Amino acid sequence: MEMKEKKIIMKNVDKLNQNTRMASISRSKTITTQSRRGNLGKTADHKSDETKKEKRELERHTANMSKLEPPYSALGHHYTMKGELPTHKCRYFFFGFIIALVLILMSGSLFQLYLHHNRVTSSSGAQIHTWPGPPPYDQVARVARYVVHISEWASIATVSTAGPIAGYPFGNIISMSDGPVAKASGTPYAYITRMDLSGKDLMKNPRATLSMSEAQSDYCQAHDLDPEDPRCARVLLTGTMVEVMNGTAEADFARSALFSRHPAMESWPIGHHWIIVKLNIAHIYVLDFYGGANEVDVVDYYNAEV
């Protein structure tokens, strides 16, 4: 009996232990499953967070790029950007513009240098006149016309009638003009008074010589030429001084020639009885290079191109 009861008790204990083991295994499986599920959930949540973070970074980067850079066309970054030239083309355009600007400035400077080198100036009072450069020295008739036209004054030589030096050559300075700046005539006109020593000489003996030099312009100075250097051209016109009668076309031209180049003449005192005179040219000497003076025919002189 006791053995039988022991067997029953042992059997119940074994069953209890077996149930306990089964419950423990079941509980362990449940925990493992839950743990796996939790880890999978955490992994999925982590991946989801990373995806969202990358998406946010991409959106932020795209927004910054859209602010800083213009949109590209669908053709790719190596093609033309919408609304804008490619960077390399803009760079070439900029360099081309700078080079063109430099060339323009250099051309302007060279042109100004050329004008300065090939033009001369002379002055009468406050007036400054600008002239083209002189003709070639071997074209003596043209040189004579050129020097006469750019001259604002001349040295006049007469035979003196003044008591102490009567009969001697007498030199004086007179303002003269052969025409307005843009209209040379070749004939020297002057505005003189009979009260002047040279005026008194001319009343008795109208023969005179007018001497004009390129030195009165800035040409000789610019070329480092002494006034006596033959290359600093001079012209000597010899003839008779005669009065230009008022009321004639020549008188109007002569007055315009003188007053346009010497505005102060209009205000000279009327009581001095000023008269307009001109030189009827009979002979011309020109010295504009080494080898002595050249004689120029009067007809060739007047026909020469100015």
Q: If you compute the radius of gyration of the chain from its CA atoms, what whole number of angstroms results?
A: 55
Higher pLDDT among residues 57 and 36, named by residue: 57
How far is 110 from 118, CA to CA, in rounded Å? 12
Residue 101 pLDDT greater than 60, yes or no: yes
What is the pTM assigned to this prediction? 0.62
pLDDT value, residue 106? 72
Residue 41 pLDDT greater than 90, yes or no: no
Domain 120-303 belongs to what topology?
Pnp Oxidase; Chain A (2.30.110)
H helices of 69-139, in order, are 87-118
289-304 average pLDDT score = 98
Chain-wide mean pLDDT for the chain?
82
Higher pLDDT among residues 41 and 156, named by residue: 156
Residue 113 pLDDT greater than 50, yes or no: no
pLDDT value, residue 40? 47
pLDDT value, residue 259? 97
pLDDT value, residue 32? 55
Q: How many residues are there in the chain? A: 306
- pLDDT band at residue 64, thresholds of 50, 70 and 90? low
Comparing 126-135, 200-209, 230-239, which segment has the lowest mean pLDDT? 126-135
Give the three-class secondary structure for 186. coil
Look up tokens 């959106």; give the residue.
59
